[in-house]
Amino acid sequence: MSRRIQITFLGTSAGSPSIKRGLPAVLVSDGLREILLDCGEGTQHRLLRVGISVHRIDMILITHLHGDHLFGLPGLIASMTLLGRVRELKIAGPVGIREYIEANIKFLSALPFRIRLLEIEPPEKVTTLYREENFEIQCVTARHTIEACAYALIWRVPVGKFDPEKARKLNIPIKYWKKLHYGETVTLEDGRVIRPEDVVKVRHRGTIKIAYTGDTAPTETIIELAKEADILIHEATFSAEEDPHTIWKQGHSRTIDAAEIAKRANVRTLILTHISTRYEGIEEKLLQEAKTVFPNTHLANDFDKYYITTS
């Protein structure tokens, strides 16, 4: 039994796009679901480029209602509508997300699918926003110029060896094997409920955790959220050379702020994103700044992929 989570950076710029960097959006795929973190303008075009149908998106988590993180949402919903989606789409975001979506879907044909909206008052303490059997989304307030959320995605993964002989003996159709293999309980057509433990020798239970900040100044709340995460995706709009107080007042972080948060949260890997276009061509310098504080840092480029695997 193993689990592979894939993170694809669809857009890594801040505010305005460049030829090299699109507007913020990160796709997280866990083999069973596809989750978008923010949805800047052009996200649907970038999904085409990475070969992910818009129908496969299960959930969109919007960190805050600034255009650069948001303006890809109406077009994505438009294409889902045109291409005949029927499956429910979940969208979470701070208060105001409902008004934004309603104001924009007026300019579309009637939706053939339901949008399930989770409108959030960003909480001061880390709070569970959504839960499935082995999967959970947490959120906490970030520190920006408007209400903003940071999110953590957490998988609880039974780790062990899948036994196909057992599965065959129990007459479990092959289409359910992947879910069981990924640690999800399934209900068969004949009504039997099969738990992963029925077909797998569980050695131990692991956890995979990804935290994503959206726009934020460095803040204790994100240290709480990101505690022991495998990957923290933290905004780093500015270089360490900028005056911290000016940057923080703008609700943003410098490279070394993000690195300090990663260190204090004891995460495994830090990935910097939301890179201001002013640094085009000198991203290596930004990366080195962060590495002086937190060595295991990466800087995201558009279409970069990262993987987390348990086995």
304 among known catalytic residues: no
Residue 70 or residue 259: which is nearer to its own copies going by CB? 70
Of 59-98, binders to its own copies (CB under 8 A) are: 65-68, 70-72, 74-75, 78-79, 82-83
User: Residues 30, 34, 38, 41: which binds its own copies (CB under 8 A)?
Assistant: 41
Q: Is 42 in the site for its own copies (CB under 8 A)?
A: yes
Say how many residues make up the chain.
311
* Contact between 288 and 299 (Cβ < 8 Å): no
Residue 78 or residue 293: which is nearer to its own copies going by CB? 78
Question: How many Å apart are CA 93 and CA 121, to the nearest integer?
Answer: 9
Q: Which stretch binds its own copies (CB under 8 A): 42-50, 170-178, 191-199, 234-242?
A: 42-50
The encoded tokens of residue 39 equal 């949805």
3-state secondary structure of 55: helix
Please name the amino acid found at residue 164.
P
| DSSP per position, 228-274 | T-SEEEEE--B-TTS-HHHHHHTT--BHHHHHHHHHHTT-SEEEEE-
Longest dimension (CA), the chain: 65
Q: Which stretch binds its own copies (CB under 8 A): 37-45, 115-123, 162-170, 171-179?
A: 37-45
Q: Is 30 in the site for its own copies (CB under 8 A)?
A: no
Residues 170, 173, 174, 179, CA torsion sign = negative
Catalytic residue among 30, 38, 58, 68: 68
Q: Which stretch binds its own copies (CB under 8 A): 10-18, 129-137, 254-262, 303-311?
A: 10-18
User: Residues 55, 56, 108, 127: which binds its own copies (CB under 8 A)?
Assistant: 108
The phi, psi pair for 193, rounded to 5°, reads -100, 120
Q: Which residues are catalytic?
A: 68
Residues of this chain that bind its own copies (CB under 8 A): 15-19, 22-23, 40-42, 44-45, 48-49, 65-68, 70-72, 74-75, 78-79, 82-83, 100, 103-104, 107-108
